[in-house]
């Protein structure tokens, strides 16, 4: 299936056929972000949840009747084999988009070749500022007055993919890293749902290519 992503403001009013965007979520932890995504499905539908470990996120998906699968790195021959199995686990659901929601593994070249252009990630900072695993700590150490949350596509870099949407969060004087991170997470949950519910997938009759538009 060919899918092209467009992130500019799309004029979809004249589109005759609109489809629900099918998404697969990758998750490794408690699943609070996943829960928000599940609870507020509208323009999108969660058709599968894949994890690298047995975790609470899978339980949340199972309660909602969503198919789940574990692709364990420890049970794979090597990293390449794990990536091959991860791609297969996602492909069986035939999604237009993949959402990384607290997924704690870095995907490899095979996954990026298949889904890199349509896998969304959230990051607890206003990219391109403060990429990496310690974004909240780094923002506090730098002394910024404003940070926030970013929704972006993944690519081969570290938090370098195309930005889809951002929302700012003020930094309070004397605030701890944990408290700031929790407030960013609250914004993050609303932002990712807003982005996903802004999406529409349509078929371009001329190119025979499905196009996903975000009108954010």
- Kindly list the catalytic residues: 123
Beta carbons of 153 and 119 less than 8 angstroms apart? yes
Query: What radius of gyration do the chain's Cα atoms show?
Result: 17
CA distance 6 to 204: 13
DSSP codes, 81-113: HHHHHHHHHHHTT--SEEEESS--S---HHHHH
Q: Which strands make up the sheet holding 119-123, listed edge to edge? A: 68-70, 44-51, 21-26, 97-100, 119-123, 146-153, 163-170
Where is the binding site for (6R)-10-formyltetrahydrofolate, in residues?
A: 79, 104-107, 121
Q: In 32-78, which residue ranges form alpha helices assigned H by DSSP? A: 32-39, 56-63
Widest Cα–Cα separation across the chain: 57
**Token pair in block for residue 147:** 């940070």
């Amino acid at each position: 299936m060919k899918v092209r992503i467009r992130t500019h403001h799309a004029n979809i009013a004249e589109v005759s056929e609109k489809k629900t965007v099918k998404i697969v979520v990758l998750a490794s932890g408690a699943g609070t972000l996943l829960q928000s995504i599940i609870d507020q499905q509208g323009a999108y539908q969660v058709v599968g949840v894949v994890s690298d470990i047995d975790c609470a996120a899978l339980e949340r998906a199972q309660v909602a009747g969503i198919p789940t699968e574990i692709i364990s790195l420890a049970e794979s021959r090597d990293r390449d084999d794990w990536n091959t199995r991860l791609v297969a686990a996602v492909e069986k659901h035939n999604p237009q988009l993949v959402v990384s929601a607290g997924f704690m593994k870095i995907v490899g070249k095979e996954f990026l070749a298949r889904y890199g252009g349509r896998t969304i990630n959230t990051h607890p900072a206003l990219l391109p500022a403060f990429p990496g695993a310690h974004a909240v700590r780094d923002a506090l150490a730098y002394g910024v007055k404003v940070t926030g949350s970013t929704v972006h596509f993944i690519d081969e870099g570290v938090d370098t993919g195309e930005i889809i949407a951002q929302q700012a969060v003020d930094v309070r004087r004397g605030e701890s890293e944990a408290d700031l991170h929790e407030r960013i997470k609250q914004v993050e949950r609303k932002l990712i749902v807003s982005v996903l519910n802004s999406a529409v997938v349509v078929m371009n009759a001329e190119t025979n290519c499905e196009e996903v538009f975000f009108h954010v």
